[in-house]
Amino acid sequence: MKKYVVMLVLLLSPVLAAEELFMVRSQLSFPEAMTVLQQAIRENGYQVSRVQRIDIGLTRSGYKTDKYRVVFFGKLQEIRKISDQYPELVAYLPLKIAIFAENDETILLSSSFKHLRPFYSSVDLLASFSHWETDIQTILERVRIEE
Amino acid sequence: MLIHIPVILGAVVATLVAQTALAEAANGALLYQRNCAVCHGIKGDGGVGIPLNLKDFLAVASDNYLRATLREGRPGRVMPAFPGLSSGQVSAIIGHLRSWSDTEGPTYPAETLNGQPERGKTLFASHCAACHGDKGQGGVGTGVTFSRPRDAPVEAPALDNPGFQASVSDAMLKATLLRGREGTPMPSIGTLGLDERDADDLVTYLRQLNTATKPEETAAGLEPVIQFESSYDLEQTLENLKQAVVGRNFRVIREQYFEQGLAAAGEENPRRIMLYFCNFAFLDEALAIDPRVGLFLPCRITLVETEQGVQVMSINPKNLSQLFNNQALDKACQQMHDLYEEIMEEATL
């Protein structure tokens, strides 16, 4: 069975975007986009583990975006398994999406795993990178199209 | 089970082919919204990218220029290259940009202009450098927004950028200078009291700008994780880290189990801990350069106890400037890298 899984991954990889970063602009206001984002994360089978504020002190220094959060999410079993096998990867986990307001619109972004790929050869791990990338793009697209 | 696999594979292939065909035929608007709107705005009026919907821009930008721009990007100046877009998809996006203007895209002869570069250099220093930089390196920051007010003027693009130079023709450069860009700070050279001959000299000079970017550090050469092995136990290492953080004028803002929020309370693995810390001046500075780096803030070090002992690690910030394709981040990323290393070294030795 494993062999076929590999073949599927190889077949699918060309449709995956090659970008380093995944970014979208949503026409929703910041609080609306935040709600849809958390919904989309759950719909894709993940659990939101924490919403971290980044904007403390931002407005004080004249910066124009005062609504900035990073939403962390993951699946416990998956994250446990990978951090057991590759303890150094905890630095990149759980998964995360940054969300910040730009006037009345909202920008969301997340990183691909492209920069990690050259360091790993395990088929299972590379498959995890790929499905995380697909899921992150699906989640971002879900927020982007919401009106 | 085995019998079904070829069928599944066949279906996957068929779907992929159908998807590709659909995407090719497609809808430039959708491709634009997915790939470009985040930086250039939903209607092309600019964001961290410069505006694309300006009459004066669309009137001088040839399809060749736009096509090459998507192929080359602007290395180090935020604008990515889009190697993943097919030629059909690129055409669809160009079609969408053209829908913002009622004029067609111009075509230009390939000839090079033979102006006097020395004269051009002098003209550039007195009329252009204030905005485009003394070496044509562009303004500080890009575009109009993200961190800056929406009514702030557009930052002047980098004219020495290899992606720009590879995309633009002499004739398009000249047309840009003669026309200017209404709605942005870019003047027509006529309003500066310059004429066509001056334009030729300027163009010839612009062609000689040093486009050499520093040798690119490839992702493969940069370890993605900074990692130290501690000579202490978990509790002591954590204590040491906190002291090292505070000793560098950073504030510890949070300490939590790595699995907190994922595992039920009380069932988190207590041997994996994340330590968040921050220094507002540093955070503000980094976000002002490129707000996207918030994805990797506040600073965080993770501790993991394994059979081999206690490991501490962080992301490697030097990986980030290439992730964001923003050379303005290099210095801050280097600083952050050094800080991580110093803190972890001090806490683990």
CATH of the domain at A77: 3.30.310.70
Indicate the angle between helix axes A30-43 and A123-145, nearest 10 degrees.
140
Assess whether pLDDT exceeds 50 at residue B261. yes
Least confident of A68-77, B7-16, B315-324: B7-16
CA distance to B10, B202, B308, per residue, from B14 (Å) = 6, 54, 49
Q: How confident is the model at residue B319 (pLDDT cuts 50, 70, 90)?
A: confident
* Residue contact B291–A100, C-beta within 8 A: yes
- Which helix (H) or strand (E) covers residue B136, if one does? none
SS3 B48: coil
Amino acid at B230: S
* Residue contact A90–B304, C-beta within 8 A: yes
Our CA-based measurement puts residue A102 at a distance from the nearest CA of chain B, in whole angstroms, of: 6
Q: How confident is the model at residue B25 (pLDDT cuts 50, 70, 90)?
A: very low
Quickly tell me which residue has 């880290």 as its tokens. B241
Spatial distance between the Cα atoms of B274 and B304, rounded to a whole number of angstroms: 9
pLDDT at B16: 59
Strand partners, B226: B314
Q: Is A10 within the bounds of a domain?
A: no
A111 neighbors A20 (Cβ within 8 angstroms): yes
Strand partners, A53: A69
Spatial distance between the Cα atoms of B207 and B68, rounded to a whole number of angstroms: 17
Q: Is A55 within the bounds of a domain?
A: yes
* Residue contact B260–A57, C-beta within 8 A: no
Amino acid at B206: L
Least confident of A26-35, A120-129, B186-195, B216-225: B216-225
Q: How confident is the model at residue B4 (pLDDT cuts 50, 70, 90)?
A: low
Spatial distance between the Cα atoms of B304 and B273, rounded to a whole number of angstroms: 7
Enumerate helices (H) and strands (E) in chain A, giving the number of each.
4, 5
* Residue contact B294–A102, C-beta within 8 A: no
pLDDT at A12: 36
Q: How confident is the model at residue A20 (pLDDT cuts 50, 70, 90)?
A: confident
B170 neighbors B113 (Cβ within 8 angstroms): yes
- Which helix (H) or strand (E) covers residue A24, if one does? strand A21-26
* CA B322, B326, B330, B335 torsion-angle sign: negative
Cα dihedral B291, A55, A75, A43 in deg (nearest 10) = -80
Nearest to A49 among B42, B262, B298 (CB): B262
Q: Where are the alpha helices (DSSP H) in chain B?
A: 4-25, 28-35, 37-40, 55-60, 63-72, 87-98, 117-127, 129-132, 162-167, 170-179, 196-206, 234-247, 280-289, 320-323, 330-348
Spatial distance between the Cα atoms of B199 and B127, rounded to a whole number of angstroms: 12
Assess whether pLDDT exceeds 90 at residue B169. yes
Nearest to A11 among B13, B39, B300 (CB): B13
For the B225-348 domain, the top CATH level (class) is alpha beta
Amino acid at A131: H
Our CA-based measurement puts residue B124 at a distance from the nearest CA of chain A, in whole angstroms, of: 33
pLDDT at B115: 96
Quickly tell me which residue has 């004080």 as its tokens. A60
Spatial distance between the Cα atoms of B187 and B105, rounded to a whole number of angstroms: 21
Nearest to B145 among A83, A89, A102 (CB): A102
Q: How confident is the model at residue B283 (pLDDT cuts 50, 70, 90)?
A: confident
Quickly tell me which residue has 């990889």 as its tokens. A13
* CA proximity to B309, closest of B235, B242, B234: B234
Our CA-based measurement puts residue A129 at a distance from the nearest CA of chain B, in whole angstroms, of: 14
Q: Is A3 within the bounds of a domain?
A: no
Assess whether pLDDT exceeds 80 at residue B26. no
Work out how many CB contacts closer than 8 A connect A with B.
162
Q: Is A40 within the bounds of a domain?
A: yes
Burial degree of B32 (CB within 10 A; 0-12, 13-18, 19+): buried
Domain ranges of chain B: 18-207, 225-348
Quickly tell me which residue has 């969301």 as its tokens. A108
Our CA-based measurement puts residue B192 at a distance from the nearest CA of chain A, in whole angstroms, of: 33
B35 neighbors B85 (Cβ within 8 angstroms): yes
pLDDT at A46: 98
Amino acid at B140: V
Spatial distance between the Cα atoms of A56 and A58, rounded to a whole number of angstroms: 6
Please give the tally of structural domains in chain A: 1
Q: Is A13 within the bounds of a domain?
A: no
Percent residues over pLDDT 70 in chain B: 87
Q: Where are the alpha helices (DSSP H) in A50-122?
A: 76-85
Q: How confident is the model at residue B40 (pLDDT cuts 50, 70, 90)?
A: very high
Interface check B287 vs A, CB under 8 A:
yes
Give B176-198 pLDDT, tens digit per residue.
999 999 988 999 999 999 999 99
Q: Is A147 within the bounds of a domain?
A: no
pLDDT at B148: 56
B348 neighbors B305 (Cβ within 8 angstroms): no
Compute how many other C-beta atoms are within 10 angstroms of the C-beta atom of residue B344.
25
- Considering only residues B226 and B149, tell me which one the structure prediction assigns the higher pLDDT: B226
- Assess if CATH 1.10.760.10 describes domain B18-207: yes
CA distance to B67, B105, B186, per residue, from B102 (Å) = 20, 10, 22
| Positions of E strands within chain A | 21-26, 47-53, 68-74, 95-102, 105-111
Give B247-259 pLDDT, tens digit per residue.
998 989 899 999 9
CA distance to A36, A59, A98, B41, per residue, from A32 (Å) = 6, 21, 15, 19
The ipTM value here is 0.85
| B113's tokens | 């202009």
Q: Is A61 within the bounds of a domain?
A: yes
* Residue contact B84–A49, C-beta within 8 A: no
Assess whether pLDDT exceeds 50 at residue B343. yes
pLDDT at B161: 95
Q: Is A28 within the bounds of a domain?
A: yes
pLDDT at B70: 97
Residue A95 lies in domain? 20-140
Least confident of B57-71, B107-121, B166-180, B201-215: B201-215
pLDDT at A58: 52
Percent residues over pLDDT 90 in chain B: 64
A138 neighbors A16 (Cβ within 8 angstroms): no
